[in-house]
């Protein structure tokens, strides 16, 4: 038990990533407000970003820029951070597109609640 | 000169559509020019793809590798155009050429204005480039980026029509597909954390050595990839977005979404399962058992749900779910026959389903009727369209002499070789159900009395596209030749690696 706790404390960024991921997934799946779904997606993505960035980190490592005459020998791994830059760009474009769609749905139905939209639509279909 | 062309082919087939996609919006006001450019780009693309396929065939499947930006393998992004990539790119380029023929003079009423048509073509080309990239890439993070490009352009196509339903379907699709890509990214993260590589070949080597140190991470990576690509490829319990998305999109978009986009994710899954994890790990974690169960469930559920639909396009969309099940099941068969059957089925379904959706689109826009019962007697008024629909249906059912038969036959042989009897029964049952949901459409179209209404016949380019695609279904069924050979080579290559 003590070893498990110690592992958790040492690897706290991963622990935080898992918690973020679960919060995000729950928000996406249980909330019917479209904005909240979108925010849930973003929180899930943050969880994965955190996992990647934590994987590249080395304790006590320096920023990976080589300087002449520098005595540092340990640098953090820059690759995961660079990858997550791409990931953030993708996530921003997904968010922008989703917001545009929500705007169109709001103009059409006058609500941003997925359940209300389904009700309105089935009413429309019955008529 | 020749070597310059050959060396750069793997990147050319990805860049060609992407490049044209980004210059199209500048000509948005001149629709003729846009359509012409798209067709020229597609022709160049298919020429490149055919040349690539012929080189790979003559080299007996030895892939052409290309290091992007000159950075060599473990550091840079590597493209590897082997038999799998050549086969898939050939089919993407062919189907998109035909779809862009079909879309000529035809899109404005479905999408709205001229500018929107140009933007729609941008999305089609972006999707094509992303799918071609998935076929040739050998880098895991590149897979994620391409998957995202494909997802966003698919969502754009679904929302192309000015209809509230379209926006709703696109939103559902966007949320679920992004959920899928997040899972895929997570899976890539797990692999990167334990192996330190993003290149598939290097990651696979390293994984073979270190997987025993962290078995749970491998387990998580497997499940993330399976669920992530499962959502995107619409396997049974995760298919909820597909019928809405594929049936509300304009006809050319549904053809591309159902025929090609779903297949891209399946190819990615196949590459990750066989090239990164390898069959030893798949057997260790019983992944092929999951694939069998999910595949057979998807075949049955998709077919039965398709039977209950009245709308033609929704019925076809559910049929796509069922056919994805066949391919998914084929991936579980760790033998050459089963895998090459799955790959050939993938190719033939791409052709068949795009024919079906294009013909359905032509019928629906002619009659203004989305229900199957509204198509009574249309076979006498639109003979070519309904004939193409009939040929494609026979192909999908798997009648001999049509392309679906060969894929199903090899899948059956493969499942017999793997000693699984129930899936073999399910394959045949799926065919029977397929006949049960497609033949009534043909019966209504040919044998019901014709109501006295004017039906707008499709234009020449639409007819040409339908005839070429229907001919491809028959030709693939009679002379599968080079396609079957490429599929065979790809299957052998997937099995030999590790």
Name the residue ranges covered by the structural domains of chain B.
Answer: 286-498
- Which residue is closest to A115 within chain B, CA to CA? B168
Query: What's residue B492's pLDDT?
Result: 86
> What distance in Å separates residue B195's CA from the closest CA in chain A?
12
B266 pLDDT above the threshold of 90: yes
Q: In angstroms, rounded to a whole number, what is the distance separating the alpha carbons of residues A25 and B473?
A: 42
How many angstroms separate the CA atoms of B140 and B195, rounded? 12
Non-local CB neighbours of B60 within 8 Å, separated by 6+ positions:
B489
Q: Burial letters for B164-186: b for 16+ Cβ neighbours within 10 Å, e otherwise?
A: bebbbbbbbbbbbbbbbbbbbbb
Among B38-52, B121-135, B318-332, B451-465, the least confident range: B451-465
Cα B436 to chain centroid distance, Å, stands at 24
Q: Tell me which residue range forms the domain holding A6.
A: 2-59+75-126
Q: Which two tokens stand for residue B477?
A: 């069924």
The pLDDT tens digits for B417-445 are: 888 788 888 989 999 999 999 999 889 88
Asked if residue A87 is part of any domain, the answer here is yes
- pLDDT (mean) for A16-21: 93
Tokens of B392: 């494609």
Average pLDDT over residues B77-90: 89
A34 occurs within a structural domain: yes
Q: How confident is the model at residue A88 (pLDDT cuts 50, 70, 90)?
A: very high
Cα–Cα dist B426/B298, whole Å: 10
> CB of A14 within 8 Å of any CB in chain B?
no
- Does B155 lie at the interface with A, CB-CB under 8 angstroms? yes
What's the structural domain count of chain A? 1
The chain-wide mean pLDDT, for chain B, equals: 88
- Alpha helix segments (H runs only) across B257-311: 262-271, 278-284, 287-307
Number of other residues whose CB lies within 10 A of the CB of residue B54? 13
Confirm whether A64 is domain-assigned. no
Given a cut of 60, whether residue B254 has pLDDT beyond it is: yes
The pLDDT, as a whole number, for residue B229 is 93
Instruction: Show the tokens assigned to B112.
Output: 């709205």
Query: Which residues on A lie below 8 Å from B164 (Cβ)?
Result: 104-105, 108-109, 121
Each residue's pLDDT tens digit, B181-233: 999 999 999 999 999 889 998 999 888 888 888 888 999 999 999 999 999 99
Better pLDDT: B2 or B242: B242
**Residue A101, pLDDT score:** 92
Segment B370-417, tens digit of pLDDT: 788 888 888 888 888 899 999 999 999 988 888 889 999 999 999 888
For residue A124, what pLDDT is reported? 66
pLDDT digit string, tens, across residues B470-493: 999 999 888 888 888 888 888 888
Residue A74: band (very low, low, confident or very high) from pLDDT cuts 50, 70, 90: confident
Question: Are B437 and B81 within 8 A, CB to CB?
Answer: no
| Whole-number Å distance between alpha carbons of B223 and A26 | 18
Pairing mode of beta strands B64-67, B78-81 = antiparallel
pLDDT band at A121 (very low <50, low <70, confident <90, very high): confident
Contact indicator for B477, B258 with CB cutoff of 8 Å: no
Closest residue to B186, CB basis, from A28, A48, A93: A48
B159 has a chain A CB within 8 A of its CB: yes
Q: For A55, which of B156, B165, B192 is closest by C-beta distance?
A: B192
Based on its alpha-carbon atoms, the radius of gyration of chain B, rounded to whole angstroms, reads: 21
Structural domain contains residue A70: no
Residues B179, A52: C-beta atoms closer than 8 Å = no
A92 belongs to a structural domain: yes
Contacts of B232 in chain A (CB under 8 A): none
Minimum distance, in Å, between the CA of residue A41 and any CA atom of chain B: 7
Interchain CB distance below 8 Å, B182 and A41:
yes
How many whole angstroms separate alpha carbon B322 and alpha carbon B396? Answer: 11
Q: What confidence score (pLDDT) does residue A125 get?
A: 56
CATH code at position A104: 1.10.287.3510
d(Cα B17, Cα B197) in Å, to the nearest integer? 29
Rounded CA separation B276/B291 (Å): 17
Q: Do A44 and B179 touch (CB under 8 A)?
A: yes
- pLDDT tens digit sequence for B285-322: 888 889 999 999 999 999 999 999 888 999 999 999 99
Q: Is B115 on the interface with A (CB under 8 A)?
A: no
User: What is the rounded CA–CA span in Å between residue B330 and residue A118?
Assistant: 37
């Amino acid at each position: 038990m003590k070893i498990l706790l110690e592992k958790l404390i040492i690897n706290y960024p991963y622990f935080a990533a898992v918690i973020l991921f679960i919060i995000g997934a729950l928000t996406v799946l249980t909330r019917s407000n479209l904005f909240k779904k979108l925010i849930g997606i973003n929180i899930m993505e943050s969880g994965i970003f955190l996992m990647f960035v934590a994987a590249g980190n080395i304790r006590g490592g320096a920023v990976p820029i080589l300087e002449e005459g520098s005595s540092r020998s340990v640098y953090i791994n820059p690759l995961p951070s660079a990858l997550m830059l791409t990931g953030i760009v993708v996530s921003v474009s997904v968010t922008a597109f989703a917001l545009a769609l929500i705007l169109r749905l709001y103009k059409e139905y006058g609500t941003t609640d997925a359940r209300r939209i389904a009700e309105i639509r089935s009413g429309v279909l019955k008529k | 000169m020749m070597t310059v062309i050959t060396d750069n082919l793997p990147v050319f087939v990805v860049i060609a559509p992407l490049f044209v996609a980004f210059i199209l919006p500048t000509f948005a006001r001149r629709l003729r020019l846009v359509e012409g450019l798209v067709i020229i780009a597609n022709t160049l693309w298919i020429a490149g793809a055919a040349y690539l396929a012929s080189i790979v065939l003559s080299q007996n499947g030895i892939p052409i590798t290309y290091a992007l930006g000159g950075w060599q393998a473990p550091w840079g992004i590597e493209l590897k155009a082997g038999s799998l990539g050549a086969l898939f790119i050939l089919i993407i380029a062919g189907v998109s050429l035909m779809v862009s023929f079909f879309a000529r003079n035809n899109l404005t009423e479905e999408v709205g204005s001229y500018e929107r048509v140009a933007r729609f073509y941008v999305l089609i080309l972006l999707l094509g480039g992303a799918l071609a990239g998935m076929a040739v890439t050998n880098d895991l993070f590149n897979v994620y980026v391409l998957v995202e490009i494909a997802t966003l352009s698919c969502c754009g196509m679904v929302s192309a029509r000015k209809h509230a339903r379209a926006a709703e379907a696109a939103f559902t699709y966007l949320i679920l597909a992004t959920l899928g890509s997040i899972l895929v990214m997570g899976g890539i993260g797990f692999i990167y954390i334990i192996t330190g590589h993003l290149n598939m070949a290097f990651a696979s080597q390293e994984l073979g050595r270190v997987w025993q140190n962290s078995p749970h991470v491998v387990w998580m990576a497997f499940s993330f990839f399976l669920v992530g690509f499962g959502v995107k490829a619409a396997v049974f319990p995760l298919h909820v977005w597909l019928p809405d998305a594929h049936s509300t999109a304009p006809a050319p978009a549904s053809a591309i979404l159902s025929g090609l986009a779903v297949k891209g994710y399946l190819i990615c899954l196949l590459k990750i399962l066989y090239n990164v994890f390898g069959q030893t790990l798949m057997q260790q974690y019983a992944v092929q058992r999951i694939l069998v169960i999910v595949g057979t469930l998807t075949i049955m559920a998709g077919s039965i749900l398709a039977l209950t639909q009245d709308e033609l396009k929704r019925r076809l969309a559910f049929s796509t779910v069922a056919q994805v099940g066949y391919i998914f099941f084929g991936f579980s068969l760790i033998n050459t026959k089963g895998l090459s059957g799955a790959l050939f089925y993938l190719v033939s379904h791409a052709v068949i389903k795009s024919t079906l959706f294009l013909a359905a689109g032509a019928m629906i826009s002619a009659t203004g009727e989305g229900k199957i019962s509204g198509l009574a007697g249309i076979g006498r008024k639109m003979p070519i369209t309904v004939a193409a629909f009939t040929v494609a249906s026979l192909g999908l059912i798997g009648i001999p002499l049509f392309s679906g038969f060969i894929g199903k036959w090899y899948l059956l042989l493969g499942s017999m070789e793997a000693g699984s009897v129930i899936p073999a029964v399910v394959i045949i049952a799926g065919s029977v159900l397929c006949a049960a949901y497609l033949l009534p459409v043909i019966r209504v179209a040919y044998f019901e009395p014709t109501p006295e209404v004017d039906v707008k016949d499709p234009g020449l380019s639409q007819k040409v596209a339908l005839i070429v695609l229907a001919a491809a279904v028959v030709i693939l069924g009679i002379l599968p030749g080079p396609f079957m050979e490429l599929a065979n080579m790809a299957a052998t290559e997937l099995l030999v690696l590790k």
